[in-house]
Amino acid sequence: MLLKIRLAHSADNSNVEANIVELNSKHVEDFRSVWMNLLRQFQQEDKYWDLMIKLRMIENNDNYEGYAVEYQEQTEGLLLIETQMHGSQISSGKRLIYIYYVATAPWNREVIQRPPKLRGVGTSLLLFTRSRSLELGYEGRVGLHSLPGYEKFYDNRGMLDLGSDPDYEDLVYFEYGAWRQRLQGTGESQV
């Protein structure tokens, strides 16, 4: 699988083409050998050991899928989703894609590099989950628990804030409902 996406290059405000691809061993190795050193150095929230386990879960479970954003052969973002076990909190009985992990490369974070190299990586991965949800027949439904401090991003991206979840360490749960496309010129929308 290879999906072309467009990202913003911070240095000159230009747009660049990148790809979303299925996660492979190169991405895991990039995370281990390149990302981890930088993340440790800057004490970012990502839990290294935990993610290594999560990434390896994909190999052993059909219901987990992993993807990466690649630009000029570098891993710019990572995504891990679960596709069969989670249900919507908005529409009872409807399945959704649950985001287990999503992250941008350290050099795309302002706390590590200013200005960050690329912008739009997180947005691309979030939109991709909606697209994957449509493919799986889940009507674009996506859920996630945001880590503290990042809630405003998901709020800003139009996800519904369903409040802190006591069973998930009080992390705030966000959900996208069904994707609705407005039919051009009619003002009506369809799922």
| Nearest-approach distance from CB 33 to other proteins, in angstroms | 19
CB of 26 or CB of 180, closer to other proteins: 180
Give the range of 29-37, 65-73, 165-173 binding other proteins by CB under 8 A: 165-173
Q: How many Å apart are CA 109 and CA 35, to the nearest integer?
A: 12
Residues 6 to 65 in contact with other proteins, rule: CB under 8 A: 6, 8, 15, 44-47, 49-51, 53-54, 56-57, 59-61, 63-64
Residue from 108, 138, 139, 141 that binds other proteins (CB under 8 A)? 108
Query: Among residues 158, 154, 186, 188, which one has the least CA distance to residue 173?
Result: 154
Residue from the set 87, 90, 91, 136 that interacts with other proteins by CB under 8 A: 87
- Closer by beta carbon to other proteins, 26 or else 152: 152
Q: Cα separation of 158 and 175, whole Å? A: 9
Q: How many residues bind other proteins (CB under 8 A)?
A: 77
Give the residues across from 78 on adjacent strands: 68, 103
Cis amide leading into 115 (omega within 30):
yes
Nearest C-alpha neighbor of 77 from the set 122, 28, 132: 122
Told to check if 181 binds other proteins by CB under 8 A, we report yes
